């Protein structure tokens, strides 16, 4: 979480700050890339994942599923464009509990997380409607 705390603007005291940091990895800064080769490999892998999710979205069977996939694709494309143009993703929301840091994220990350929650809700809904055999 490089840059956390530097020039932070408090949005919700003890919980959320606005900061400026560049994430050269993926979620939670995993697979951190400093060179162009690693960045291009990461872009290719992420673009492939977006295409796979797009196929799943095309095959969705209801609106909840389609909305979930749409949010995941939209957030992933936002981060992918940022990474392609800038070499990293601009993260600017720092979530923490008092002095304990949790993570730094952006609105595309929120869209991805919301999409995953909708897909989980759809899965739970489908599991509840399956008749007992």
The residues assigned a catalytic role are 91, 109
Q: What distance in Å separates the CA atoms of residue 88 and residue 33, rounded to the nearest whole number?
A: 9
69 burial level (CB within 10 Å; 0-12, 13-18, 19+): buried
Q: Would you say 88 and 22 are in contact if contact means Cβ atoms under 8 Å apart?
A: yes
Q: What are phi and psi of 34, to 5 degrees?
A: -100, -25
Q: Would you say 79 and 89 are in contact if contact means Cβ atoms under 8 Å apart?
A: yes
Judged by phi (left if over 0) then psi (alpha if -120 to 50, else beta), residue 41 lies in alpha
């Amino acid at each position: 979480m490089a840059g956390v705390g530097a020039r932070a603007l408090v949005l919700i005291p003890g919980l959320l700050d606005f900061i400026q940091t560049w994430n050269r990895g993926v979620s939670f800064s995993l697979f951190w890339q400093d060179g162009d080769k690693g960045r291009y490999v990461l872009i290719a892998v992420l673009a492939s994942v977006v295409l796979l999710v797009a196929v799943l979205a095309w095959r969705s069977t209801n609106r909840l599923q389609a909305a979930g996939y749409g949010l995941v694709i939209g957030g992933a494309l936002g981060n992918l464009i940022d990474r392609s143009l800038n070499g990293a993703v601009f993260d600017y929301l720092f979530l923490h509990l008092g002095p304990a840091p949790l993570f730094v994220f952006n609105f595309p990350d929120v869209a991805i997380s919301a999409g995953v929650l909708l897909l989980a809700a759809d899965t739970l809904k489908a599991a509840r409607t399956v008749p007992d055999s």
